[in-house]
Amino acid sequence: MRATVEAVLGDITHERVDAVVNAANSSLLGGGGVDGAIHAAAGPALLAECRALRRTVLPQGLPVGDAVATGAGELAATWVVHTVGPNRHAGQTDPALLASCFARSLTVAADVGARSVAFPAVSAGVYGWDVEVVADVAVATVRDHAALAGDEPAVRLVRFVLASDRAHAAFASAIHRHLGTG
């Protein structure tokens, strides 16, 4: 059985999946955009878990391209997988860093037992990456990750949840190009 990959227009905080991916900053303490929306919707439990991570295993913050899981607080999901995308405005222009966000998020999600994962367009907002580039890197990374998992991938559904028509079109096109569906 292969993983299903889809793109939808919507609000990631309303997704009924096992894990929602947060386009976090390295502090893990909330911010703007998707990060702020997820923290607001999840409530204080999410911030408490993020603060605990900072006190214990991530005192310097979460590195760019890495991912870590917490509970999801009041979200419909069970987990939030936080990942820090590269910031083009800060000179972080290597697509491998962007790919790492998606690959590490899938690995972390699988490690906590998630079978379904919702992703935003990591780094396509205030971090300055073109949404078409993000879509291409994201879908290719998901394809490659699924290929490594073989016939029984741990994550069975990858849903890209996009907040704009332009982002949705970019991801739908990338899914068609890389997976022949969409």
What pLDDT digit, counting tens, does each position of 91-105 carry? Answer: 999 999 999 999 999
Q: What percent of the chain has pLDDT over 90?
A: 88
Range with the poorest average pLDDT among 136-145, 151-160, 162-171: 151-160
Report the interhelical angle of 95-111 vs 131-149 (nearest 10°): 50
CATH of the domain at 57: 3.40.220.10
For residue 154, give its domain range: 4-179
> Number of structural domains, the chain?
1
Cα(23)–Cα(14) distance, integer angstroms = 16
Active site residue 94: no
Report residue 66's pLDDT band, with 50, 70 and 90 as the boundaries. very high
DSSP SS3 for 67: strand
Span 31-56, average pLDDT: 96
What pTM, to 2 d.p., does this model score? 0.95
Answer whether 121's CB lies under 8 Å from 160's CB. Answer: yes
Strand-pair category, 157-162 with 116-119: parallel
Which tens digit of pLDDT belongs to each residue from 121-132? 999 989 999 999
Answer whether residue 50 shows pLDDT above 80: yes
The yes-or-no verdict on residue 19 having pLDDT over 70 is yes
Rounded distance between C-alpha atoms, residue 181 and residue 148, angstroms: 19
Question: What is the mean pLDDT of the segment spanning 108-127?
Answer: 96
Q: Which of 18, 35, 66, 136 is catalytic?
A: 35
- Look at the alpha carbons of 155, 160, 83, 32 in this order and tell me if their dihedral is positive or negative: negative
Mean pLDDT throughout 48-55?
A: 97
